[in-house]
Protein backbone atom coordinates (compact mmCIF):
# COMPACT_ATOMS: atom_id res chain seq x y z
CA UNK A 1 0.00 0.00 0.00
CA UNK A 2 2.79 2.42 0.83
CA UNK A 3 4.49 1.88 -2.55
CA UNK A 4 1.30 2.83 -4.35
CA UNK A 5 0.99 6.10 -2.42
CA UNK A 6 4.58 7.02 -3.20
CA UNK A 7 3.96 6.20 -6.84
CA UNK A 8 0.90 8.50 -6.94
CA UNK A 9 2.84 11.33 -5.35
CA UNK A 10 5.63 11.14 -7.91
CA UNK A 11 3.23 10.95 -10.86
CA UNK A 12 1.04 13.84 -9.79
CA UNK A 13 3.67 16.62 -10.22
CA UNK A 14 4.90 14.95 -13.41
CA UNK A 15 1.36 14.92 -14.81
CA UNK A 16 0.84 18.57 -13.86
CA UNK A 17 4.16 19.58 -15.45
CA UNK A 18 3.45 17.48 -18.51
CA UNK A 19 0.02 19.07 -18.90
CA UNK A 20 1.49 22.56 -18.60
CA UNK A 21 4.26 21.68 -21.05
CA UNK A 22 1.77 20.29 -23.59
CA UNK A 23 -0.37 23.40 -23.21
CA UNK A 24 2.71 25.56 -23.71
CA UNK A 25 3.64 23.60 -26.82
CA UNK A 26 0.15 23.97 -28.27
CA UNK A 27 0.22 27.69 -27.52
CA UNK A 28 3.65 28.04 -29.11
CA UNK A 29 2.41 26.41 -32.30
CA UNK A 30 -0.87 28.33 -32.43
CA UNK A 31 0.42 31.83 -31.64
CA UNK A 32 2.49 32.50 -34.78
CA UNK A 33 -0.32 31.14 -36.96
CA UNK A 34 -2.90 33.32 -35.20
CA UNK A 35 -0.65 36.37 -35.43
CA UNK A 36 -0.08 35.90 -39.16
CA UNK A 37 -3.69 35.06 -39.94
CA UNK A 38 -5.22 37.98 -38.11
CA UNK A 39 -2.70 40.69 -38.88
CA UNK A 40 -1.18 39.99 -42.30
CA UNK A 41 2.39 40.78 -43.27
CA UNK A 42 2.65 44.37 -42.02
CA UNK A 43 1.78 44.89 -38.36
CA UNK A 44 0.02 48.09 -37.39
CA UNK A 45 1.92 50.66 -35.35
CA UNK A 46 1.54 50.40 -31.58
CA UNK A 47 -0.93 52.98 -30.26
CA UNK A 48 0.39 55.19 -27.49
CA UNK A 49 -2.24 53.82 -25.06
CA UNK A 50 -0.79 50.27 -25.14
CA UNK A 51 1.06 49.26 -21.99
CA UNK A 52 3.64 46.52 -21.43
CA UNK A 53 1.91 43.28 -20.44
CA UNK A 54 4.93 40.93 -20.57
CA UNK A 55 8.55 42.00 -20.29
CA UNK A 56 11.25 39.34 -20.18
CA UNK A 57 14.87 38.85 -20.99
CA UNK A 58 18.35 38.20 -19.75
CA UNK A 59 20.64 40.32 -17.64
CA UNK A 60 24.02 40.34 -15.90
CA UNK A 61 27.12 38.28 -16.48
CA UNK A 62 29.06 38.37 -19.73
CA UNK A 63 26.04 38.10 -22.00
CA UNK A 64 24.42 40.73 -24.12
CA UNK A 65 21.38 42.01 -22.21
CA UNK A 66 18.03 41.43 -23.85
CA UNK A 67 14.63 42.87 -23.10
CA UNK A 68 11.54 41.74 -24.99
CA UNK A 69 8.26 43.60 -24.50
CA UNK A 70 4.82 42.31 -25.40
CA UNK A 71 2.33 45.17 -25.18
CA UNK A 72 -1.34 44.97 -24.29
CA UNK A 73 -2.29 45.50 -27.96
CA UNK A 74 -0.15 42.50 -28.97
CA UNK A 75 2.82 44.41 -30.37
CA UNK A 76 6.11 42.59 -29.74
CA UNK A 77 9.56 44.15 -29.92
CA UNK A 78 12.99 43.54 -28.45
CA UNK A 79 15.99 45.61 -27.43
CA UNK A 80 18.49 44.05 -29.83
CA UNK A 81 16.42 44.27 -33.01
CA UNK A 82 16.79 40.62 -34.07
CA UNK A 83 13.19 40.42 -35.25
CA UNK A 84 10.99 43.14 -36.70
CA UNK A 85 8.07 44.36 -34.65
CA UNK A 86 4.95 42.27 -35.10
CA UNK A 87 1.61 41.85 -33.40
CA UNK A 88 -0.05 38.93 -31.60
CA UNK A 89 -3.75 38.20 -31.71
CA UNK A 90 -5.80 39.02 -28.58
CA UNK A 91 -6.43 35.27 -28.14
CA UNK A 92 -2.68 34.71 -27.99
CA UNK A 93 -2.30 37.28 -25.21
CA UNK A 94 -5.15 35.66 -23.30
CA UNK A 95 -3.44 32.28 -23.74
CA UNK A 96 -0.18 33.66 -22.36
CA UNK A 97 -1.98 34.99 -19.29
CA UNK A 98 -3.63 31.59 -18.75
CA UNK A 99 -0.25 29.89 -19.03
CA UNK A 100 1.13 32.34 -16.47
CA UNK A 101 -1.59 31.24 -14.06
CA UNK A 102 -1.15 27.53 -14.87
CA UNK A 103 2.60 27.68 -14.18
CA UNK A 104 1.99 29.33 -10.80
CA UNK A 105 4.02 32.38 -11.77
CA UNK A 106 2.34 34.62 -9.19
CA UNK A 107 3.33 32.24 -6.37
CA UNK A 108 7.03 32.26 -7.26
CA UNK A 109 9.40 34.34 -5.12
CA UNK A 110 10.66 37.53 -6.76
CA UNK A 111 14.26 36.26 -6.70
CA UNK A 112 15.38 32.67 -7.23
CA UNK A 113 19.15 32.86 -6.98
CA UNK A 114 21.65 30.03 -6.56
CA UNK A 115 25.44 30.08 -6.49
CA UNK A 116 27.71 30.32 -9.50
CA UNK A 117 30.33 32.26 -11.37
CA UNK A 118 29.76 36.00 -11.79
CA UNK A 119 30.06 35.80 -15.59
CA UNK A 120 26.85 33.76 -15.86
CA UNK A 121 23.78 35.89 -16.46
CA UNK A 122 20.24 35.52 -15.24
CA UNK A 123 16.76 35.83 -16.69
CA UNK A 124 13.65 37.73 -15.67
CA UNK A 125 9.95 37.88 -16.45
CA UNK A 126 7.56 40.70 -15.54
CA UNK A 127 3.82 40.24 -16.00
CA UNK A 128 1.53 43.24 -15.65
CA UNK A 129 -2.25 42.97 -15.37
CA UNK A 130 -5.01 45.20 -14.03
CA UNK A 131 -4.35 43.60 -10.61
CA UNK A 132 -0.71 44.72 -10.57
CA UNK A 133 2.77 43.73 -11.66
CA UNK A 134 4.98 40.78 -10.69
CA UNK A 135 8.67 40.31 -11.59
CA UNK A 136 10.69 37.15 -11.05
CA UNK A 137 14.49 37.02 -11.47
CA UNK A 138 16.21 33.61 -11.83
CA UNK A 139 19.96 33.06 -11.80
CA UNK A 140 22.11 29.92 -11.41
CA UNK A 141 19.14 27.57 -10.88
CA UNK A 142 16.51 25.71 -12.86
CA UNK A 143 12.89 26.32 -11.92
CA UNK A 144 10.48 24.35 -14.11
CA UNK A 145 7.53 26.78 -13.89
CA UNK A 146 9.73 29.77 -14.75
CA UNK A 147 11.69 27.91 -17.45
CA UNK A 148 8.55 26.71 -19.24
CA UNK A 149 6.95 30.15 -19.24
CA UNK A 150 10.22 31.73 -20.41
CA UNK A 151 10.51 29.19 -23.25
CA UNK A 152 6.98 29.92 -24.50
CA UNK A 153 7.52 33.69 -24.30
CA UNK A 154 10.79 33.30 -26.24
CA UNK A 155 9.06 31.22 -28.92
CA UNK A 156 6.19 33.70 -29.20
CA UNK A 157 8.69 36.56 -29.51
CA UNK A 158 10.48 34.61 -32.26
CA UNK A 159 13.83 34.47 -30.47
CA UNK A 160 16.28 31.82 -31.58
CA UNK A 161 17.75 31.18 -28.13
Using an 8 Å Cβ cutoff, are 68 and 85 in contact?
Answer: no
User: The sheet that has 132-139: what strands, in order across it?
Assistant: 86-87, 75-78, 66-71, 52-59, 122-129, 132-139, 111-113
Measured CA to CA, the distance from residue 6 to residue 23 in angstroms comes to 26
| Residue 33: predicted pLDDT | 39
**Could you give the dihedral angle defined by the CA atoms of residues 102, 89, 29 and 26, in that order, rounded to the nearest 10 degrees?**
30
> Could you say which DSSP state residue 5 is in?
H
Domain boundaries, given as residue ranges, for the chain: 2-156
The pLDDT averaged over each successive group of 10 residues in the chain (161 residues) is: 40 45 46 40 47 91 88 88 78 94 94 84 93 93 92 86 46
Burial pattern 32-58, b for ≥16 Cβ within 10 A else e, equals eebbeeeeeeebeebeeeeeebbbbbb
Measured CA to CA, the distance from residue 20 to residue 42 in angstroms comes to 32
pTM above 0.95, yes or no: no
Q: Please return the burial class of 92, using the count of CB atoms within 10 Å of its CB with bins 0-12, 13-18 and 19+.
A: buried
| Residue 80: predicted pLDDT | 77
- 2-156 topology per CATH: Mago nashi protein (3.30.1560)
Q: How many CB atoms lie within 10 A of CB 124?
A: 20
Amino acid sequence: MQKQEISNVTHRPLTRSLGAALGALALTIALPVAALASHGAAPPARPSAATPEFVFGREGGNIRPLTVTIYSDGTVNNSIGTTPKFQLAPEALAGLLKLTQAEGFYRLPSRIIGHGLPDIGGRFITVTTAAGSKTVHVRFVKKAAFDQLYAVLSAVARLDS
